[in-house]
């Protein structure tokens, strides 16, 4: 089976067994963008606490967060871990949002994907995965998100080396799939769900995995 058919087959298998994911959880594009920064190498449950704290204080708007002291912000996002560095990263993103789009995330959609992605990547603290997550899940741009789960899952299926470069891994999916926001959205979400519940770090639960039929 060629690569494209295999990747499409895996997608269909996951969707059939797990159902749609309804990603990204969040009430607004801005909440999704902040969540993308907060969830860097961090369990989503911890991110939810941090976002809950911000909501509770009515601070989940660009203007309110921008006006907030670093110390206050750090304390509120503390449950998400790495709170000092993430405070800096959020503030970097807010400065970018102010200068580039008058605090209006949707104004970023006036750019093409190809010119916007490098601009977001230039923000210190926003790497390729966070940038693509914001572009896809907050702004509906057709860019495919890959992550540690993706590399692990693909590696265990013998398709890539474990430490494959981000953009190489991404290209594998882009080349195999139709350029479609809904498919990109759902595919990454399904991989994360499979990664959490079956393709675990220590020992994969391959026998019961939705992707078991695709193992060799």
Using CB under 7 A, list all residues that contact DNA: 23-25, 39-47, 49, 78-86, 123-131, 133, 147-149, 166, 189, 192, 195-196, 200-202
The nearest distance, CB 184 to DNA, in angstroms, is 13
Q: Which is nearer to DNA, 5 or 167 (CB)?
A: 167
Q: Which is nearer to DNA, 3 or 124 (CB)?
A: 124
Q: Which is nearer to DNA, 46 or 61 (CB)?
A: 46
Q: Which is nearer to DNA, 4 or 48 (CB)?
A: 48
Closest CA to 7 of 152, 174, 137: 174
The nearest distance, CB 92 to DNA, in angstroms, is 8
CA dist 169 and 94 (Å) reads 29
Residue with structure tokens 């977001």?
Answer: 120
The nearest distance, CB 118 to DNA, in angstroms, is 12
Cα–Cα distance list, 111 to 101, 141, 182, 199 (Å):
11, 10, 20, 37
Q: Which is nearer to DNA, 4 or 72 (CB)?
A: 72
The distance from CA 43 to its chain's CA centroid, rounded to whole angstroms, is 12
**Token digits of residue 176:** 């195999």
The nearest distance, CB 7 to DNA, in angstroms, is 19
CA dist 68 and 50 (Å) reads 15
Residue 174: Cβ within 10 Å count:
16
Q: Which is nearer to DNA, 44 or 103 (CB)?
A: 44
The nearest distance, CB 128 to DNA, in angstroms, is 5
The distance from CA 4 to its chain's CA centroid, rounded to whole angstroms, is 23
Report yes or no: 161 and 155 within 8 Å, Cβ to Cβ. yes
The nearest distance, CB 122 to DNA, in angstroms, is 8
């Amino acid at each position: 089976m060629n690569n494209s058919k295999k990747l499409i087959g895996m997608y269909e298998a996951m969707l059939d067994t797990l159902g749609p994911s309804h990603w990204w959880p969040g009430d607004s594009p801005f909440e999704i963008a902040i969540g993308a920064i907060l969830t860097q190498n961090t369990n989503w449950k911890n991110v939810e606490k941090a976002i809950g704290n911000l909501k509770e204080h009515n601070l989940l708007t660009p203007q309110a967060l921008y006006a907030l002291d670093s110390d206050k912000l750090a304390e509120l996002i503390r449950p998400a871990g790495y709170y000092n560095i993430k405070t800096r990263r959020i503030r970097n993103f807010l400065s970018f949002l102010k200068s580039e789009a008058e605090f209006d995330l949707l104004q970023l959609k006036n750019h093409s994907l190809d010119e916007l992605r490098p601009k977001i990547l230039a923000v210190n603290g926003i790497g390729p995965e966070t940038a693509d997550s914001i572009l896809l899940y907050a702004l509906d741009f057709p860019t495919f998100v890959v992550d540690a789960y993706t590399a692990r899952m693909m590696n265990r299926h013998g398709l890539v080396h474990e430490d494959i470069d981000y953009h190489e891994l991404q290209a594998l999916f882009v080349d195999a799939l139709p350029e479609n926001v809904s498919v990109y959205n759902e595919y990454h979400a399904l991989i994360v769900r499979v990664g959490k519940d079956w393709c675990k770090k220590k020992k994969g639960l391959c026998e019961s995995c939705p992707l078991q039929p695709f193992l060799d």
